[in-house]
Amino acid sequence: MKYICVLFTILLSLSFPLHSTSYNSLEYRQEKVISNLFDQLVRHHINSTLAIERSVSALLKSYPEQIDIVLKVALAKYPQEYKQIICGALRAEPALTSDVITILLKSNIAASTDIVSIAVNEEPAYATEIVKTAVLLYPDKFESIVRVAILTEPVMANNVVKNTMQSYPEKLLDILVIAVKAFPDQVANIVRDTLRLSTDDREVISVAVSFSTGDKAREIITAAIRSGMSKESATAAAIAGGAKPADIARNNP
């Protein structure tokens, strides 16, 4: 790696012309240098099934400022190995997660949900940031992006749901539905967390009941009451959401 670093420095310095030149020309020269180095690294790891991942990671660990060019080169050479490229980039510098996701999504190398799933699985601690970045670029894919993120890493799902609700309060009920459908057995906790952020408690209860099975109505009402709603309000909201009298009758918080 030390040899590669020295070689990169020499080649990059030679890539600068003695006289002024256009930015595009300079970028082209830098891309050529990165491309040559990348080929050398891949050959070095040729016997590894993770040759592409390790090569991307090695380059970005030394030259994180060249992330645009490194990923451009890697994707152009090995488009079918985009998973290795994502993982290699994230492992090299997790702090660049947003940049990595942006570049990969703009490349159209794979479906946005596929890229989000790979990234969240690789860096679950950055799940919320990954979702925000993906939604910014693909607002029309909001629901599918949130869904795949929380299903990919259930341990981080609660944080993703809460943080996404806070970031997109206008979509709070949509996120509630996604979460309830994804984790029906955790509906009470989901309702409790949503009530802390909602401006309309009754609507939260109605929606939660609407997208849950009948036997969950009691849990939802109980969660609402424990969150501060009156029994009467919680019950009325549950009925509005489709709770049956038998479910309500069994409720005894």
- Contacting residues for 166 by C-beta, under 8 A, at least 6 apart: 197
The reported pLDDT for the residue numbered 52 is 94
Which two tokens mark 216?
A: 């969950």
Q: pLDDT tens-digit profile of 99-115?
A: 999 999 999 999 999 99
The reported pLDDT for the residue numbered 250 is 59
Task: Write the DSSP symbol of residue 16.
Answer: S
- Contacting residues for 206 by C-beta, under 8 A, at least 6 apart: 237, 238, 240, 241
- Contacting residues for 108 by C-beta, under 8 A, at least 6 apart: none
How far CA 11 is from CA of 33, 45, 58, 80, 109, in Å, comes to 6, 22, 17, 29, 29
**Percent of the chain clearing pLDDT 90 (strictly above):** 74
Q: pLDDT tens-digit profile of 134-189?
A: 999 999 999 999 999 999 989 889 999 999 999 999 999 999 999 999 999 999 99
The reported pLDDT for the residue numbered 19 is 42
pLDDT at residue 10 greater than cutoff 80: no
pLDDT band at 24 (very low <50, low <70, confident <90, very high): low
pLDDT at residue 251 greater than cutoff 70: no
Amino acid at 18: L
The reported pLDDT for the residue numbered 133 is 97
Which two tokens mark 228?
A: 């501060």
Query: Could you give the CA distance from residue 229 to residue 234 in angstroms, rounded to a whole number?
Result: 6
Q: pLDDT tens-digit profile of 195-233?
A: 999 989 999 999 999 999 878 999 999 999 999 999 999
How far CA 89 is from CA of 4, 106, 153, 196, 245, in Å, comes to 18, 16, 19, 37, 55
pTM recorded for the entire structure: 0.84
